[in-house]
Structure 1
Amino acid sequence: MFAERLTQTGEPAAEMNRRLRVQARQIYSFCTIGQMGWEGPWREVAGKALDLFLGKGFRDDGQCVHLFSPAGEVINTSLDLYDHAFALFALGHAGKALGRTDALEKAAALRDIMLDKWLRPEGGFWEGELTPCPPYRQNPHMHMFEAALVNFEVTGDPKWKALLEQLGDLFATKFRDAASGAVTEYFDKDWQKLAAGEGDIVEPGHCLEWAWLFEVAPEGARSTAIADGLTGFARAHGINDTLGVAINEVFLDGSIRDGGARLWPQTERLKAAVARYNRLKTEDEAAEVVKAYNGLWLYLDLPVKGVWYDRLNADGTWVVEAAPASSFYHIVCALNELNALS
């Protein structure tokens, strides 16, 4: 199994329990770097990881487990929406890159279970057994959108397209703050934004991630108008121009809640910038691609290549710690988008 963290010298960190969602993200990552042209043993690595995932990652009822021990044994079978979203995502990409029809069939079966058992009458999905609700969160639904996107691309199955459109409508009518164009994070059971304070929290990285998805989604789910609003808010309020990075959290009024900057928002900034450049082809958007790339490179430019910093403090100092392997998916996705720059 893939490790959860890497030391700054590139070695697996101390033994830790391993989350199913991280295993899924790494399957995606190796499939994608193979399609990008990496000549290493990506097919072997991804194929073996997929076999292990299919063999150990599912309960008898067809739903996903949550956690493995360092030795790879299942130690927590609790249900979680993030885990299921990333399982669907990995299975779709494995079907695409490896030609594994069994992965696509498993994704369709899991989707159908979720459509039968997980849908909430208020819209969206049940979030599982690990996180108390309320508050309800938009973010796992974003990853469901991402998973439906690749599975529809590979299979053309209209059920995936319908799910994309359903989630896109939920975003447009509930998640998005119409006045600002931003996406907030936390909601009550009826998908009403929580009261001022927690309800006004915006993560610029999530604005940019949703913006990218609405840029690249197929007709019926694509919305460049929504993408423009999201990107506009993030660029206006979520960038530390001095450090050159996207920050963690602001409020709807643009005031800063957390001026630190994790790695993953930099990847979403780059993805959104590339997608916008491909659509608009302006010098300003080309400059945004360069700025986003330079911001991301700060996190990757370490003496040992292949590891990264995850957290930059607001004062410009790094948090020196083991690199979370979960970030590899973000890095690969951003570089894949850059690779497709037209």
Structure 2
Amino acid sequence: MSNLNERLTQTQTRLKSWLFDAALPIWRDVGVDKINGGVFETINLKGIPERSNRRTRVAARQVYSYAQARLMGFPGETDEVIDACLAWLNGPALRDDGLLNAVVSADKEVVRAEFDFYDHAFALLAYATAFKVRPQDKDLESRAIVIREALISGYKHPVRGFEEANPRMLPLKTNPHMHLFEACLAWVEAGGDARWKEIAAEIAELCLDKFLHPENGSLREYFDGDWNPIEGEMGRIIEPGHQFEWAWLLIRWAAISGDDKFIAPAKRLVEIAENYGTDHHRNVTIFELWDDFSVKDAKARLWAQTERMKAYVALQSVAGSAEEREECVSKLIKAAEGLELYFDVPIAGLYRDKLTPDGLFVEEPAPASSLYHIICAIDEMTKASI
């Protein structure tokens, strides 16, 4: 046990040092567009930012990342990034109705104006996390409530959950619901009103009732308008990274709601993702399975490795015995080592994004959007103990 505790401490220290000393400084100092505003989507592996259109979700994720950094005790400057991204969300990205454009050019021309459920979930998360570090800024809460009420009035599913578009566009998706669930939990933690908890409760129940396969406990991604798995191959897709991510959220919800019925389904999600969705030879979680747990796509994205970490921190928190807790911590360390494979780049603080099935990384710029995943996982790992 002492050796395991030492390994945990070393891994926590190593990851936090990489984050504080390298990643957060480079994505602040290089990643902020000081001429046009907002943040760059990517930095190439030579350390040069690349000019491209800006997705609203990226600005939202960088607000989260630097607000979370402050909550973690990062001693460096964070306001520069938070302010730049909030100005982008409240400026070029903002529509007249209080919702957000999905994509805006670097020159602030709207590229894609249509409603994107996923983007709005991240905007809500951004405002919640910023509000945690700026509780005096009531505008953050006001903007979040405008988006929340627009979702309810314009995009609510007639029974439960939310639509992808109005008029309806199929398939309905679990992934934006997952991030709305995450945002609602953040607002509950930030002291938001009771409506956040009500929406979180609805999504949690919808997950157990409809998203989870009734026979094998896996989580499907795509549904018809009545929350049945959509016909054809799309209805059979499982993403192991999302299995881990939902498990982390459901265990958090069990603690907030006081209802332990969410823990067993969460454990089953982790079991599936670890046993079938993780390549233990490469020590990475892969992209997609079919619902019979056979491999659909064996490439391994960075983000899935962070969700594997978060899931084991959550499981460790509800472990029923010392042995179970030690097993969770051991798997957490293994997952962290899988993530660190992606950090082996010439400039510290950047990272790879895709590992191919043959064990080679795709040569491409580092995406800003991944920092959200990384900082959340490292923050969660700092909470783990034996």
Q: Which bin holds the TM-score, normalised by the shorter protein?
A: over 0.9
Alignment of 1:47-66 (within 5 A): 47-66=83-102
Shift in Å at residue 126 of structure 1? 1.6
Aligned equivalents of 1:77 and 1:30: distance in 2?
26
Aligned with residue 89 of structure 1, among 114, 121, 125: 125
Change in Cα spacing, 1:73 to 1:298, as seen in structure 2 (3 Å) is same
1:93 is paired with a residue whose SS is helix
Alignment of 1:210-225 (within 5 A): 210-217=246-253, 218-219=256-257, 223-225=262-264
Question: How many residue pairs are counted as aligned between the two chains?
Answer: 340
Instruction: Give % identity.
Output: 39
Q: Deviations over 1:184-228 (max 9, x none)?
A: 111111110123532111000000000000111211576211211
Aligned with residue 244 of structure 2, among 200, 208, 213: 208
Aligned with residue 11 of structure 1, among 27, 44, 48: 48
Bigger shift: 206-215 or 273-282? Answer: 273-282
1:56 is paired with a residue whose SS is coil
TM-score, normalising length: structure 1: 0.95
Q: Does residue 313 in structure 1 map to residue 356 in structure 2?
A: yes
Q: Deviations over 1:258-281 (max 9, x none)?
A: 011010100000000111112215
TM-score, normalising length: structure 2: 0.84
Change in Cα spacing, 1:133 to 1:117, as seen in structure 2 (3 Å) is closer
Question: What is the letter of the counterpart of residue 29 of structure 1?
Answer: S
Shift in Å at residue 145 of structure 1? 0.4
Asked whether the equivalents of residues 145 and 163 of structure 1 are also in contact (C-alpha less than 8 Å), the reply is yes
Counterpart for residue 220 of structure 2: 184
Shift in Å at residue 178 of structure 1? 2.2
Q: Deviations over 1:93-138 (max 9, x none)?
A: 11012222210121122111211111011422121379x8322211
Counterpart for residue 276 of structure 1: 315
Aligned equivalents of 1:190 and 1:201: distance in 2?
18
Q: Does residue 20 in structure 1 map to residue 33 in structure 2?
A: no
Shift in Å at residue 72 of structure 1? 3.2
Give the gaps of 5 or more residues in structure 1: none
Question: What is the letter of the counterpart of residue 323 of structure 1?
Answer: A
Q: Deviations over 1:209-256 (max 9, x none)?
A: 000001112115762112111111111110101000000011121110
Asked whether the equivalents of residues 176 and 183 of structure 1 are also in contact (C-alpha less than 8 Å), the reply is yes
Alignment of 1:162-177 (within 5 A): 162-177=198-213
Bigger shift: 39-48 or 314-323? Answer: 39-48
Asked whether the equivalents of residues 312 and 328 of structure 2 are also in contact (C-alpha less than 8 Å), the reply is yes
1:318 is paired with a residue whose SS is coil
Q: CA RMSD in A?
A: 1.7
